[in-house]
Amino acid sequence: MRIGISADADLEPTEIINLQLAHFAPKPLVDVLVKHQVVPVILPIVPGEMALASLQGLDGLIIPGGHDIAPEYLSANPSRFIGPTYSPRDAFEFPLVKAAVKLHLPLFGICRGIQVINAALGGSVYQDLPSEYEADNLLPHSQRSRGDLPTHRVKIDGDSQLGHAVGETALVNSRHHQAVKDVAPGLHVVATAPDGVVEAVENDDASIQAVQWHPENLWQNSEQQERIFTAFFDRVAKGED
């Protein structure tokens, strides 16, 4: 089994020119694939017209976390609270998501990934929850504690594929200030935070599934969070049959 991981780009300046804007994938995400004998294939950020070709030979695709989505890919003017963006990644991942759906390739999104999948398929995204989300009880979704420590609970639809895998509640980590707003056609909400913020979406057959938290930073100490990945691998394996 070979699963693609779309790369992030290191935006920090470096004295070594070969490392400037280097493409990378989160090590804990690579580690969980390797543990389960899945070959990770890191997809570098290339022009969007190469998206379909980039998926050839893959059995599934993961869109991981990263920087904010550039406003032009949200059909919006920039919020004054928007964080760092890197539009070449958006220009690759949006057609990559559409190509994966066209191929009916199992697709899993993490944090930024849920936002990219939702926006690419016709939904909308909050650029900044604290200034845009209307709720008096808004949780601190950008936690200050370590990213491998969970900070709030989510309620999960027990009839969803995510619910079948992990149950009706989960304690999760939270490192985001953008989030799903209007859900894209064909997707539905399967998990929410106590303040109502969307925490997971999937389609009817769960060939598309995405979560707002970072299970790749929790699975080492949480069998429940690891099941999110093993359930995805099972769906990918079924697609190979």
DSSP 20-85: TT-EE--HHHHHHHHHTTPEEEEE----GGGHHHHTTT-SEEEE---SBPPGGGGTSPPPTT---B
**SS3 of residue 89 by DSSP:** helix
Please tell me which residue in 67, 111, 199, 202 is annotated as part of the active site. Answer: 111
pTM: 0.95
Please tell me which residue in 93, 199, 202, 216 is annotated as part of the active site. Answer: 216
Work out the number of other CB atoms within 10 angstroms of the CB of residue 179: 22
Q: In what order do the strands lie in the sheet with 169-172?
A: 39-43, 2-6, 60-63, 107-110, 208-211, 198-202, 188-192, 152-156, 169-172
Work out the number of other CB atoms within 10 angstroms of the CB of residue 183: 16
Where are the alpha helices (H) located in the chain, listed in sequence order? 27-35, 51-54, 87-102, 112-120, 129-132, 161-166, 223-240
Under-70 pLDDT residues of the chain? 240-241
Task: Quote the CA–CA distance of 161 and 149 in Å, as a whole number.
Answer: 24
Respond yes or no: is residue 111 known to be catalytic: yes
Task: Quote the CA–CA distance of 140 and 127 in Å, as a whole number.
Answer: 15
Respond yes or no: is residue 141 known to be catalytic: no
Please tell me which residue in 67, 176, 214, 226 is annotated as part of the active site. Answer: 214
3-state helix, strand, coil in the chain (%, to 5): 35, 20, 45
Cβ–Cβ under 8 Å, residues 29 and 64 = yes
